[in-house]
Amino acid sequence: MAVGETRFPAMPVIEGLRLGTAMAGIKKPGRRDLVVIEIAEGARVAGSFTLNAFCAAPVTVAKEHLAACQARGEGARLLVINTGNANAGTGQIGLRDARATCAELARLAGVPEDSVLPFSTGVIGEPLPMERLLGGLSPALDALGAGDEAWRQAGEGILTTDTRPKGASVTLELDGRTVTINGISKGSGMIKPNMATMLAFVATDAAIEQKLLDSLLRETVDRSFNCITVDGDTSTNDACMLIATGRGATVASDEEVAVFRNGLQRVMTELAQAIVRDGEGATKFVTLQVQEAASREEAREVAFTVAHSPLVKTALFASDANWGRILAAVGRAPVRDFDVEQVTIDLGDVRLVENGGRAAGYTEEQGSRVMREAEIVIRIALGRGAESATVWTTDLSHDYVSINADYRS
């Protein structure tokens, strides 16, 4: 059972962008599993990709094609996403198939082959069913649309073990003109991004220069998708794309950039948190706030050490106020010259740890009350400086094991 049901929001039209889906039967018949995103000429596109050394063939090709487009001063024209098969761990065959997919879609749409960027998600190590995939491209193009339903169907078309589509949208006012930012994401397991997350596609009608677009993507990804973890596994296929079609207001001045950045961060954070809320088998949504660190990286290291602890995660699932597991995880984080006397740990509104041990006023009843909640905040103050970081994670349940044990069946 997923935590904190979220509804797919209304998605305004983004001028200069259309989405289409098809049922190609890549893994299972009768479900949307192929998505095409059409981007108008003159748009700008930025990308963030997995750092996994075994990056999937579509990641390699997407990076190559994006670089080629940017070298020409252009943006990509089409994105193609399939679910059901990751096309990862497939060697030269995988690269051939990713390029063949781009070539066929380019032919159908009448655009250069290297203006098509491919994305895949699903089972690792199996070749793509190319006949079915290529057969779905024309129906996906025929289904292109710009409205709310097109966004919703695209959100459904990129899912794997997710239980629901994930979307976010904000509308901003810039110099008297309305700017829209829409986004969809997918991800439920194999979540510990090292750039973005499984897949995310965010678009705006704003006009933004390429250098600024790249910078905005890096900044907002770092404080959203790079702050979530379900199971500590970084995917081979992670990608987050940011598209600015240039059909709306220009984002250039410091004030405009600040307003736009805040709106983009909101979309990115909502999409990232939606992945955690839909984490495989998750029953708890957990916020880890680490404060008073010597650096932001130190704060992140402590937060992720606690978030990845199987003992902490299983205690959360059991609603067991075994606070010693949190203390132990904090203590083994890679922090130099740790003074445990300065550390405090709070579970919700309950102080667990201070002065090197259990807080004087703590009772098991207080801890158990907080642990029974579906949304839990753990605050850790290190007493070492003024930097902080926040990470979002889940518990670890029986269902997580079952989902992943049965994944390929």
Query: pTM score > 0.75 for this model?
Result: yes
pLDDT of amino acid 269: 96
235 in a known ligand binding site: no
Match 């003074």 to its residue by tokens: 339
Listed in sequence order, the residues at least 6 apart from 336 whose beta carbon sits closer than 8 Å to its beta carbon are none
Nearest partner of 121 among 26, 195, 202, judged by Cα? 26
Confidence category of residue 214, pLDDT binned at 50, 70, 90: very high
The total of other beta-carbon atoms located within 10 Å of residue 294's CB is 15
Cα→Cα distances 367→291, 320, 376, 377, Å: 21, 8, 11, 12
Position with higher pLDDT, 281 vs 152:
152
Instruction: Look at residue 1 in the predicted model and tell me its pLDDT.
Output: 41
Q: Is the dihedral of CA 321, 163, 303, 312 positive or negative?
A: positive
Average pLDDT of the chain, as a whole number: 92
Total length of the chain? 409
The mean pLDDT of 170-186, rounded to a whole number, is 94
CB atoms within 10 A of CB 372: 12
- In this predicted structure, the answer to whether residue 390 has a pLDDT above a threshold of 50 is yes
Distances (CA, A) of 350 to 9, 218, 287, 390, 407: 35, 36, 15, 19, 39
- List the structure tokens of 58: 């579509």
> Confidence class of residue 404 from pLDDT cuts 50, 70 and 90?
low
Share of the chain above pLDDT 90, in %: 81
Q: Quick check: 100 pLDDT over 50? A: yes
Is 160 known as a binding-site position? yes
More confident call, 231 vs 371: 371
Residues 6+ apart with CB under 8 A from 330: 302, 305, 306, 343, 345, 380
The span from the first CA to the last CA of the chain, in angstroms, equals 20
Question: Which of 79-93, 116-130, 225-239, 277-291 has the least mean pLDDT?
Answer: 225-239
Active-site residue (options: 90, 121, 197, 204): 197
pLDDT tens digits along 232-283? 666 788 899 999 999 999 999 999 999 999 999 999 999 999 988 887 777 8
**Cα(269)–Cα(264) distance, integer angstroms:** 9
Q: 197 labelled as ligand-binding?
A: yes
pLDDT-based confidence at 204, cuts 50/70/90?
A: very high
For the question of residue 178 being annotated catalytic, the response is no
Give percent of the chain with pLDDT exceeding 70. 93
Q: Is 280 annotated as a binding residue?
A: yes
pLDDT confidence band for 163 (50 / 70 / 90): confident
User: What average pLDDT score do residues 35-52 get?
Assistant: 95
298 is in an annotated binding site: no
CA 24 distance to own-chain centroid: 25
